[in-house]
Amino acid sequence: MRILVTGSAGFIGFHLSRRLLADGHAVTGFDGMTPYYDVTLKQRRHAILAAHEGFRAHIGMLEDKATLERAVEDAQPEIIMHLAAQAGVRYGFEHPESYVSANLTGAFNVLEAARAAKIKHLLFASTSSVYGGNTKLPFRETDPTHTPMSLYAATKKAGEAMSHSYAHLWNIPTTCFRFFTVYGPWGRPDMALFKFVSAIEKGEPIEIFGEGRMERDFTYVDDLVEAVARLTGTVPEMGNPISADGVTDSLSPVAPWRVVNIAGGQKVGLLDFVESIERRLGKKAIRDLLPMQKGDLAETHADAGLLRALTGYVPATPVEIGVKAFVEWYRGEYGG
């Protein structure tokens, strides 16, 4: 199939594009190469994709509607996978405008492009952060998400709502997926795993917020890619919810639209995560325990029942294995 992937030079977009190419799809990547973190890392990812005959790249910002339209015209996509976004919670304290432009204006442009291209399926990346102040665990897709705790979460929730309206108005089958703490090789330098490994290797202290009491539902990137690949062929049909014991489908009653958690449904304590890194590095971390930062969730825990019912699959790679893969990649790229 012909697939357009926005954010193809990003961490998840790169892994997903590589999987799609391996499966024989024609992939057009669209990425702004923004300097939010080291652009050379993004360029190296794109270079790996460019080695595949089925890949072509367009460089441009989501906010640049004309450039995005040219990419869509070139791709003639049957499917659009929208992963490009301004990510991160803390960056929003100093650069809030970047979230509005990329995650709202950019998302609008993608939705307009999807409408014009008459695609078969739109897959739209969201985040576990939308669950915000919810205290009921595990998080289920049908739980309320009206208490976002960061601008990032608010803009991603808005993107979900915008995509629902387009699914209703223009009959665009749409699957939104909420990612839960994705990690693995080629990860972003601003993410905890990258920062922890880099600091420990250099003998520098690591900052552990929430004094280490936070818990996360970690998702290894290859598992996430497998889940997305399976969801690609699971196209929402209005009036045809899935029926499974103990599972409530998030399928909209007025649109071919649903939202799906992608996670294994297993929590790991932050200090346990640090200890797994220490074991793989063979070095102890210098721990700087700090208070919780504004915008952070103390705990994330997904109900993965809907993903299992739709795809027969749930992420299951143990943190020890995923951390090992990251450390091997990091040392190969940066030494150590």
Domain for residue 89, yes or no? Answer: yes
User: What phi and psi, each to the nearest 5 degrees, are found at residue 140?
Assistant: -115, 150
Tell me the residue range of the domain where 137 lies.
2-182+218-262
The CATH number of whichever domain residue 128 belongs to comes to 3.40.50.720
Are residues 190 and 89 part of one domain?
no
User: What phi and psi, each to the nearest 5 degrees, are found at residue 64?
Assistant: -90, 90
- Nearest C-alpha neighbor of 28 from the set 77, 89, 87: 77
Catalytic residue among 152, 166, 183, 220: 152
pTM of the entire predicted model: 0.95
Are residues 128 and 89 part of one domain?
yes
Asked if residue 6 lies in contact with residue 13, where contact means CB atoms within 8 angstroms, the answer is yes
Tokens of 117: 């291209």
Q: Which amino acid is at 253?
A: P
Domain for residue 306, yes or no? Answer: no
At 325, is the pLDDT very low, low, confident or very high (cuts 50, 70, 90)?
very high
Mean pLDDT of 94-110: 94
152 catalytic per annotation? yes
Domain for residue 117, yes or no? Answer: yes
pLDDT of residue 209: 87
Residue 79 has pLDDT above 90, yes or no: yes
DSSP result, 52-88? STTEEEEE--TT-HHHHHHHHHHH--SEEEE------
Are residues 281 and 242 part of one domain?
no
What mean pLDDT is reported for the chain? 95
* Number of structural domains found in the chain: 2
Are residues 251 and 121 part of one domain?
yes
Residue 47 sits at the vertex; the CA angle it makes with 41 and 52, to the nearest 5 degrees, is 145
pLDDT of residue 206: 95
Residue 336 has pLDDT above 70, yes or no: no
Q: Are strands 215-216 and 268-269 parallel, antiparallel or unpaired?
A: antiparallel
Report the distance separating Cα 37 and Cα 84, nearest Å. 14
pLDDT of residue 211: 77
At 165, is the pLDDT very low, low, confident or very high (cuts 50, 70, 90)?
very high
Domain for residue 62, yes or no? Answer: yes
Residue 89 has pLDDT above 90, yes or no: no
Domain for residue 304, yes or no? Answer: no
Domain for residue 83, yes or no? Answer: yes
Residue 73 has pLDDT above 80, yes or no: yes
Domain for residue 311, yes or no? Answer: no
Report the distance separating Cα 24 and Cα 32, nearest Å. 25
Mean pLDDT of 146-150: 93
Asked if residue 264 lies in contact with residue 322, where contact means CB atoms within 8 angstroms, the answer is no
Are residues 131 and 19 part of one domain?
yes
Are residues 107 and 26 part of one domain?
yes
Are residues 245 and 177 part of one domain?
yes
Q: What is the pLDDT of residues 260-289, one digit of tens each?
A: 999 998 999 999 999 999 999 999 999 998
Domain for residue 256, yes or no? Answer: yes
Q: What is the pLDDT of residues 287-305, one digit of tens each?
A: 998 888 877 788 899 999 9
